[in-house]
Amino acid sequence: MSFEEYAALARQLAEQRRTVERDAAAESERRRDLHATADYLHQRLTAQGHRLDQLGRAIGIDQPATAPAADPVSGSGPGPVAGSAPGPVSGAASGHVPGSGLSAGDSGVRSGSSGVPGPGDGGSAGVAGPSGRSGVEAYPQMPEARLALPTAASPAGVGVPAQRAAAVDPAMELELARRMADEADRHGQQAELLAQRPALLPTWSPLARAVAVYAGCGAAAGVLMLTLVLASGVGLVDGFTLGAWICAGLPALAFFGGYLVLGRWGRPHTVAGTPPRYLPLGFLICFLLVPLGYCAYLLLFRALR
């Protein structure tokens, strides 16, 4: 081999070495990117888990308890082995058939020669039945074992390789995990928006909700006012009591009723502290609505008369 051939071979080997080094560097860079992506997704999923735990505690849902592991049945051992007697063997182990002066071998020979199973062999040559139960098999599970033995000892399944799992692309799996994390973030934001809404009139603004609640309580107080007016007309309530309830009692009940309703059902789940209740506005609505309702009732009653 000439010097030029050696030089060409050396150049070829050097080129292959550089190619291998470049491939190794690219593979190492890809692995670093995959590890960095996996760490980033792990941090995102951990933060999502903490945030979901906070939302669950805010709305009163605790974490689901871990299901206890199933305890093994106490006192239960493995089932009877195929071919083993369910009880103590009597007469078969000693080779003597109870009630006869023959051994198991002699009984089997005679029953085989006559073509009729002898007493105690249970249909199997040389095996004696239990004492006092002639013609009953001593091992009732033997046919199942005989049917299972060819399958267990069949050479057809020997040497068959197990099905190999399909190759998994880490980059594709991480991309799917990233998409699922993005979807989880989107649903988490929606859950946070829903958790920031109160149970009472969730789509309304706080001011509109407060006005509606105080107006509703004032309307309920107006119904009670009409009841008192009718009771006053039949002489059950005097004029001073009716005036006191209309000017102070019923408006105060309506105001405190709206205050309690806003505090109980008008507070978002994830907002700490007390929600805005607009006390001056509620006081004005309640203490003006009931007397104005009474005045409107008087005007309507006089207009109809």
State pLDDT tens for residues 58-85.
Answer: 767 765 555 455 444 444 444 444 444 4
Q: Check residue 255 and give its pLDDT.
A: 94
Nearest Cα to Cα of residue 35 among 169, 170, 167: 170
**Average pLDDT estimate for 124-133:** 43
Please state, in angstroms and rounded to a whole number, the distance separating the CA atoms of residues 60 and 54: 10
- Above pLDDT 90, what percent of the chain? 27
Do the beta carbons of residue 218 and residue 284 sit within 8 Å? no
**Average pLDDT estimate for 282-301:** 87
What pTM does this model have? 0.50
Q: Which two tokens stand for residue 284?
A: 């004005």
Alpha helices of the chain — where are they, by DSSP H?
3-58, 104-114, 142-152, 170-195, 206-233, 239-244, 250-265, 279-304
Confidence class for position 92, pLDDT limits 50, 70, 90: very low
Please state, in angstroms and rounded to a whole number, the distance separating the CA atoms of residues 208 and 195: 19
Please state, in angstroms and rounded to a whole number, the distance separating the CA atoms of residues 277 and 286: 14
Mean pLDDT in the chain?
A: 73
Do the beta carbons of residue 195 and residue 268 sit within 8 Å? yes
Residue 96 has phi, psi (to 5 degrees) of -120, 135
Helix (H, G, I), strand (E, B) or coil at 59: coil
Q: Which two tokens stand for residue 195?
A: 């958790």
Confidence class for position 163, pLDDT limits 50, 70, 90: low
Q: What is the pLDDT of residues 251-269, one digit of tens each?
A: 999 999 999 999 888 888 7
Q: Check residue 151 and give its pLDDT.
A: 45
Q: Check residue 89 and give its pLDDT.
A: 41
The set of residues, in sequence order, having a beta carbon less than 8 Å from that of 204 and lying 6+ positions away, is 212
Please state, in angstroms and rounded to a whole number, the distance separating the CA atoms of residues 292 and 250: 12
